[in-house]
Structure 1
Amino acid sequence: MFKFTMKKLWMLTALIGLLSIVMMGCSSESSNTSDDGKKDGATKISVSALNNYPPLMFKKEGKLVGFEHDVLEAIAREENLEIEYKEMKFDGFIPGLQSNQVDVASSLLIREERKKVVDFADVFLKSGLVLVVAKDSPIHSLEDLKGKTIVATQGSTTLEKAKELAAKYGGEAKPLKETDALYTDVENGNSDALVLNSPTVDYRLKVDGDNVKFRIVGEHLTVDEHAFAVKKGNKKLVEKINSGLKTIKENGEFDKIHAEWFGK
């Protein structure tokens, strides 16, 4: 009788252990999604980011925000990516890709010379470069740039355009590393005009409202396309970005983000 009871007790213990293992497995399966919607095993990627490039990417209350930021986060949710943002100077973006410091570069315009050294994902925004001056500036046309100093962001296409305008109209192109510094330089009279992307300028004028200190001269200087860039040959990551971008455009998330930052 005693042996029989012990045998039954042993079997019962084994059964309880087996059930515990099964329950643990079920629990694991039900908790493989985190609070932010990312599943366990998300692919980690690093993104170079400007912290002063509104409304595309900038810092507000200590956190990176902006149109590009929100688009990247929406793509990440769709493709199960986990993003680490690395704040860098713009002229370090492409070298950062080439040296594997980052996996993705934001805030880049597609250029033929850049295509030779990085791979671009699909276009997510179209814009153009504009010439900006102080509200009371005597500059009202490109011809008025004769002998004037045009400031732009070092290492960017804005500086290329500033140099082109300076050469054409007999002025001087001046590089600065910080986007905010461009406005300050013009406001303080150290430079006469600046060149920037239209979304950034439009956002600045909108935020300034009645206290606006700047104005755009003439029409867009260029027609530009924005796209995220990766190291040359990283086709897998390009495919993930394109897949996520396509999804958020189809499900309406992209339009919501665009409306939030641009109002249309």
Structure 2
Amino acid sequence: MKLLFICLLCISGFSTAIAAPEIELTESEQAYIIENPVINVGVMPDFTPFSYYIENTLVGFEHDLLALVSERTGLKFELKIDKWTTIYNSFKNKEIDMISSISYKKFREPFTVFTSAYYEIPIMIFVRDDFGDYLGIKSLYGKKVGVLKDVFYVKEIEKIKGIEIVYYDNYEELTKDLVFGKVDALIQNLTNINYLIKKNVYKNLKLASELVLPNTKNEDLRFGVQPDKVLL
């Protein structure tokens, strides 16, 4: 039995500009869609350029991708829009069928069936201009470092001794607190923080280094599906 959603992601080519081959669904897949016409999926409101607002309209790469899947299958997606921690815990508690922007980690396997990655982003360390020279992870010893709650690499960061971790619910607050000195550094993906820096015209932040951990190199974005909905 093939995984329907992975199959759709692969053949779509992630582009509406080029016509993809016809999708031939198995009888069981067709039956699943008839029995489950609406799939609720957790998405974030502030994850640029994948899921974010422009003039009160939610847009982004993930929404284009979901629209393409909907067009080709007849599935309808009902969005649960909230901060990462909320949709992540809703997914863990089986309150929603699917979640976007989730990265693979082995500890998530018991409650997640992962699609293949549709995007990979470098994870970066940002600091203020007055931080001084960044000479590796040891430069963060004794410092306050801001991270998003429940981000997939947080368990690895928590193992680094000498760093005071400050947890945040959203990216805006995380970035703003670095600007105004409430934390000394932040760790987050490149695209999202770059967007916030440009949007808010922050002038005192700089990119210190890429973060490479023993078991993490990039943020690999995937859709996650409930294990009891593996056909999805």
Shorter-chain TM-score: what band?
Answer: 0.7 to 0.9
User: Whole-Å Cα distance in 2 between the matches of residues 197 and 130 of structure 1?
Assistant: 6
Q: How does 1:156-195 map to 2 (within 5 A)?
A: 156-165=151-160, 167=161, 170-195=162-187
Q: How does 1:43-192 map to 2 (within 5 A)?
A: 43-141=37-135, 142-165=137-160, 167=161, 170-192=162-184
Runs of 4+ in structure 1 over 6 Å off? none
Query: Which residue matches 2:209?
Result: 218
Residues 99 and 223 of structure 1, relative CA distance in 2, 3 Å threshold: closer
The count of residues paired between Structure 1 and Structure 2 equals 193
- Could you tell me whether the CA contact under 8 Å between 1:152 and 1:162 is conserved in 2? no
Amino acid at match of 2:186: L
Residues 198 and 104 of structure 1, relative CA distance in 2, 3 Å threshold: same
Query: Which residue matches 1:29?
Result: none
Shift of 1:96: 1.7
Residues 209 and 98 of structure 1, relative CA distance in 2, 3 Å threshold: closer
User: Whole-Å Cα distance in 2 between the matches of residues 153 and 193 of structure 1?
Assistant: 12
Percent identity over paired residues: 21
User: Whole-Å Cα distance in 2 between the matches of residues 196 and 53 of structure 1?
Assistant: 11
Residues 210 and 118 of structure 1, relative CA distance in 2, 3 Å threshold: closer
User: Whole-Å Cα distance in 1 between the matches of residues 195 and 187 of structure 2?
Assistant: 15
- Could you tell me whether the CA contact under 8 Å between 1:57 and 1:65 is conserved in 2? yes
- Could you tell me whether the CA contact under 8 Å between 2:144 and 2:185 is conserved in 1? yes
Residues 209 and 188 of structure 1, relative CA distance in 2, 3 Å threshold: closer
Q: How does 1:35-50 map to 2 (within 5 A)?
A: 43-50=37-44
Amino acid at match of 1:101: E
Query: Which residue matches 2:31?
Result: none
- Could you tell me whether the CA contact under 8 Å between 1:131 and 1:196 is conserved in 2? yes
Amino acid at match of 2:170: E
User: Whole-Å Cα distance in 1 between the matches of residues 53 and 174 of structure 2?
Assistant: 17
Structure 1 alignment gaps of length 5 or more:
1-40, 238-264
- Could you tell me whether the CA contact under 8 Å between 2:172 and 2:196 is conserved in 1? no
Shift of 1:197: 1.7
User: Whole-Å Cα distance in 1 between the matches of residues 156 and 174 of structure 2?
Assistant: 15
Query: Which residue matches 1:198?
Result: 190
1:135-182 CA deviation, whole Å, 9 max, x = no partner? Answer: 3432523322121000111111253344244x2xx1201111111111
Three-state SS of the structure 1 residue aligned to 2:131 is coil
How big is the alpha-carbon RMSD for the aligned residues of Structure 1 and Structure 2?
2.4
Three-state SS of the structure 1 residue aligned to 2:96 is coil
Structure 2 alignment gaps of length 5 or more:
1-33
Shift of 1:116: 2.2
